[in-house]
Structure 1
Amino acid sequence: MTAIPQERRLVTAVPGPRSLELQARREAVVAAGVASTLPVFAARAGGGILEDVDGNRLIDFGSGIAVTTVGASAEAVVRRATAQLADFTHTCFMVTPYEGYVEVCEKLAELTPGDHAKKSALFNSGAEAVENAVKIARSWTKRQAVVVFDHAYHGRTNLTMALTAKNMPYKNGFGPFAPEIYRVPVAYGYRWPTGPENCGAEASAQAIDQITKQIGAENVAAIIIEPVLGEGGFIEPAKGFLPALARFAKDHGIVFVADEIQSGFCRTGQWFASEDEGLVPDLVTTAKGIAGGLPLAAVTGRAEIMDAAHASGLGGTYGGNPVACAAALGAIETMRELDLVARARRIEEIMKGRLSAMSEKYDVIGDVRGRGAMIAIELVKDRGTKEPDPATTGALAKACHAEGLLVLTCGTYGNVLRFLPPLVIGEDLLNEGLDVLESALAALPGAS
């Protein structure tokens, strides 16, 4: 495995000529509905760098949407996955099982919040994990209704599109959607009418009131929420909101599901974002950072709930693939050996310090938020009205891309720039990336 120099380098325009050639080939054979943030074709990646086919090296503030938490070519991931490839690629766990699947489930039981007996089932993607969490909750409770929240994102399958809040690009034209899905307010402090100091109590009261009056708590199988909302804008629910919902769920026999697909595995400066307010979810869904870039997902939860589904009611041909399981064990090994929880906290310290200073200079930054290496800025046209500014957000991302910094946008209003650097990124690269961002901000029309 060749180490990639950890330095930004631009030898062509971004995208370069080779990437443009590949883009032309892509357009002829790849469905138009599969879009890309930046049409730069990757050749190698590792640490905090993505190298394209033209030899440009970009600083990676995206991690493949929070997937390559341990880097895109972590030694332990490559070593373990390679060894497994040499033994066998697949048998199907539902036909003849193998130790790696069991070992991953043991690690999940150890790492997820709570000291109760836990079991897991492994799948391929985050959406598949969420969909199976709903199946399990319905089996356990014998109820049908599922409660989700404003600004939520839970996937692109038919059921998880129904759970997802945002229409474009995720739902538009793809209905009808699965029934018995109900949406209630979330504690979005920056945009709460009476201010962030009142948000947690008021939003939880509103959500519980709507559940009680419009659905009936006795009809609810599951409440599903991201402890830090990802695609919706890196929204941290105001303090008190999540514990109030969890208490309500417990009091009414509702399965409380934490969707930790984007926020899990050290990303927020804790193994799981739920830990921040001492939450112990009944079920936790994971994917993304779990396996260092290989497709793997899981539902982990209270043993008695996980066992509610009948034999052969859960599974899938590729679920818990042995190579992906080996990669997951390598990713967890890396997280522990490098103490990536502490690394995420250090990234937060650097990023929030720099971004807060930028917000004092540039009025377009309405809010700086997030935890660990899951940080965002929300861009607005006016700080008083908080009118979203998606056009400037897109322009800022494009300017960063041109200078060799890969960033992603998100948010219900398309006005959030999110930062998900690999937790193994060097501090010099992290600061250089922030320098690129600040230069792009300074170049905006009307920048102060």
Structure 2
Amino acid sequence: MNVLLIGSGGREHALAWRLAASPLLTKLYAAPGNPGIAKEAELVALDIADHDAVRRFCLDHGIDLVVVGPEAPLVAGLADDLREAGIRVFGPSKAAAQLEGSKGFTKDLCARFGIPTGAYRRFSALEPAKAYVQQQGAPIVIKADGLAAGKGVTVAMTLEEAIEALEACFDGSFGSAGAEVVVEEFLTGEEASFFCLCDGTTALPFGTAQDHKRVGDGDTGPNTGGMGAYSPAPVMTPEIVERTMREIVEPTMRGMADMGHPFQGVLFVGLMIGDKGPQLIEYNVRFGDPECQVLMMRLKEDLLVLLNAAADGQLGHTSARWRDETALTVVMAAKGYPASPEKGSVIRGVEAAAGENVEIFHAGTDLRGGELVANGGRVLNVTAMGASVGEAQKRAYESVGRIDWPEGFCRRDIGWRAVERERG
């Protein structure tokens, strides 16, 4: 099979690494890719926002399956345009991608189909939103309705923070994504990420993880796209997984089908696990980043077989098996991230830092003059396997220590909740 992978981050490097291992694969292309992905695939200089160009490339190169990594092309309708040309795609339609593209759409879906989530209101103007927030009090959650690269959500612990977040949305800080705002009840408990592969009818559970969104140790500082993750998430017990499928995933799949938007692709369920059981925080319509990296380390199945089954509506005949060990990834980011990351600094020692049970996925790198340089905010994902979370954590940070990049930084406590559990 000839496969085209869309994207250029750490998630896509992990997907390329797994896809390249499939006996079904004839040729793997990646657009635009990165230096890490170049070791697994042939990079293609395609503008992925130019759907016509992507379509022409697929037809010219006999592409059998397109795997779309990031959310923006899905929300923009790339999957629809390719399918109209007879090209098979793993990823939801534009209508189904509203589950991530519009926070308000998701909250309305939850209300309509009885899916447990926090109470909410939608606003398209600042003053009514401020009045509602002042009436509700803090803590409270402010979300830009549209895509904001993981930065449009504020968990406001004070009214002042909440008002500042509303003003940021409505003054254009997040562009058109903040033209409408969702104000949500603050949920308490422990967060977890749950994934399903979906084929429009069937949802196949596809692993659990726990992400670390705050930039600093001890979950301090601003939210980021994710500073690290580990899998599996201990909080996702068999009972919680069963309830999540029954109370959240299955009604969502039925609801989307009833609305004429059957969901095919990855359904990423962001959960709060508290006294009421699992409650939905948000949906994403692609693999999480950096959660994908730890999932790919643990997956025992042929990824390409599973993605083909999802594209063909055949997931009911498949299963996903996992390694028992824990996978943990540490994000190395450029100084200034998430506000103003510094680009261009030289990174050395990456290949020497990898080894048995350690993979280093490139997230924001480039090659200049033969040297690897930082070209983004989140730059490297140092990912390790271990018999326990503590062992995986130790192995990952040992590899971090072998990378020579003075201008980079990382959190030093990824997996701390699970490590504390292990210590009793």
Give TM-score scaled by structure 1 length: 0.31
Structure number having the greater helix percentage: 1
Decide which structure has greater strand share: 2
